[in-house]
């Protein structure tokens, strides 16, 4: 498969890179230090139409190319993982509507998501249902023209700030995962309480929240697809969204490599730059090789989505698995290259190392990715 970027994609890459370097990078350390949701970056992305990347032009988007979105996420993540997550989660929350929603629902919700007028969150995980979403307990009980939601979702990215939520809940407890349905829930609905989860290791400026539904009424018209189709929708969404998380990991790794290479060329020891020492050269060579291998897997998975190719489930899982592990390895090595300076917040590789860890956890842990890949192999 041809993994070269088109002229249009290369132009997006260059534009987002310049925007990230000039506008996002100067804010990254402060966002991390204060653990404050970056509303100014949201406004910046709105002004430059970046939220439109995941969505087709029919709904006000910029085409909906997974590869173009991955390239944009990568460029932002090179300087600020928290800011890159704004793009990734807008896609994650919008995909259920795009994939499972009726045309009326798409027309109702997607234009606001594409413009960034409303932020969205994807509410799947629960306190006792993380890697096992089929074991969720949140209930949606039909009551006339409404469903009544009761239960708790947790670790929800954008959960504290999103104006729109896509919530998965059990409509028929006798059917296991086939009894799960998906709903679009307004963020200001009565019976919904949001509790911010703070003091995180990384992505500290991202809003991560617990959502408590206590008799929250949702119109039946807000159900996405048929009753019982929610679990298959969730899996289809993750196939499409995992390359975005992988792109975030790739960007973090590339950013850390950039800083390590620059520092190695400047840092003097024993009368010469440490980049002249073979031990450091070998570290940098390994880091660069891992980053390029991750990029190939990420771009391949995204290109397969765009082409409608078979095997996306495995390709997306491989990209997420390898890129997440690469981000952790490369950022750890970058801290090592910088030595004591890598261990303090004055230099960004310390933040990048903390941010990298989450890419091995959310949207399916690395262990779950291996399960997915093995199942696809053994089918």
Q: Would you mind telling me the total number of residues written for the chain in this entry?
A: 379
Residue of 74, 75, 350, 363 with catalytic role: 363
| Residue matched to tokens 């239960």 | 151
CB atoms within 10 A of CB 280: 20
CB atoms within 10 A of CB 10: 12
Give Cα 288 distance to the centre of its chain: 23
**DSSP per-residue letters across 183-231:** EEEETT-TTEEEEE----SS-TTS-EEEEEEEEEEEEGGGEESSTT-HH
Residues contacting residue 333 through CB under 8 Å, at least 6 positions apart = 256, 260, 283, 286, 287
Q: Is 28 exposed, middle or buried (0-12, 13-18, 19+ CB in 10 A)?
A: buried
Q: For residue 169, what are the β-bridge partners?
A: 181
Which of 351, 317, 349, 356 lies closest to 334 in space, CA to CA?
349
Look up 363 and say whether it is catalytic: yes
Burial profile 342-352: b = 16 or more Cβ within 10 angstroms, e = fewer: beeeebbbbbb
CA distance 166 to 183: 6
Diameter of the chain by CA atoms? 79
Q: What are phi and psi of 216, to 5 degrees?
A: -80, 120
End-to-end CA distance of the chain: 23
Return d(Cα 148, Cα 222) in angstroms, integer: 12
Distance from the Cα of residue 238 to its chain's centroid: 10
Question: 213 phi and psi, to 5 degrees?
Answer: -105, 120
Please give the positions annotated as active site. 363
């Amino acid at each position: 498969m041809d993994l070269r970027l088109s002229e249009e994609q290369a132009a997006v890459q260059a534009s987002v890179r310049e925007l990230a370097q000039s506008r996002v990078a100067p804010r990254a350390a402060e966002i991390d230090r204060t653990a404050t949701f970056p509303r100014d970056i949201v406004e910046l992305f709105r002004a430059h139409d970046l939220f439109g990347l995941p969505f087709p032009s029919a709904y006000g988007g910029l085409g909906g190319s997974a590869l173009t979105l991955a390239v944009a996420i990568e460029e932002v993540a090179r300087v600020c993982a928290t800011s890159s997550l704004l793009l990734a989660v807008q896609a994650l929350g919008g995909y259920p509507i795009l994939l499972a929603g009726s045309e009326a629902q798409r027309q109702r919700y997607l234009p606001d998501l594409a413009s960034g007028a409303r932020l969205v969150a994807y509410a799947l995980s629960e306190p006792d249902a993380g890697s096992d979403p089929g074991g969720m307990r949140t209930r949606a009980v039909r009551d006339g023209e409404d469903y009544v939601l009761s239960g708790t979702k947790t670790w929800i990215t954008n959960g504290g700030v999103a104006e729109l939520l896509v919530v998965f809940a059990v409509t028929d407890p006798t059917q296991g995962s086939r009894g799960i349905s998906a709903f679009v829930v307004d963020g200001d609905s009565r019976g919904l309480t949001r509790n911010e989860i703070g003091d995180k290791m990384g992505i500290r400026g991202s809003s991560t929240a617990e959502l408590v539904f206590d008799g929250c009424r949702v119109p039946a018209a807000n159900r996405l697809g048929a009753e019982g189709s929610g679990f298959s929708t969730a899996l289809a969404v993750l196939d499409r969204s995992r390359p975005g998380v992988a792109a975030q990991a790739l960007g973090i790794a590339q950013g850390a490599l950039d800083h390590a290479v620059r520092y190695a060329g400047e840092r003097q020891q024993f009368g010469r730059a440490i980049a002249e020492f073979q031990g450091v050269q070998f570290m940098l060579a390994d880091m660069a090789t891992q980053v390029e291998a991750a990029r190939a897997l990420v771009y391949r998975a995204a290109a397969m989505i765009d082409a409608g190719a078979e095997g996306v489930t495995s390709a997306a899982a491989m990209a997420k698995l390898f890129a997440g592990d690469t981000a952790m390895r490369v950022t750890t090595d970058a801290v090592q290259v910088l030595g004591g300076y890598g261990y303090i917040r004055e230099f960004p590789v310390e933040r990048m190392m903390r941010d990298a860890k989450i890419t091995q956890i959310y949207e399916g842990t690395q262990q779950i990715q291996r399960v997915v890949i093995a199942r696809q192999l053994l089918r």
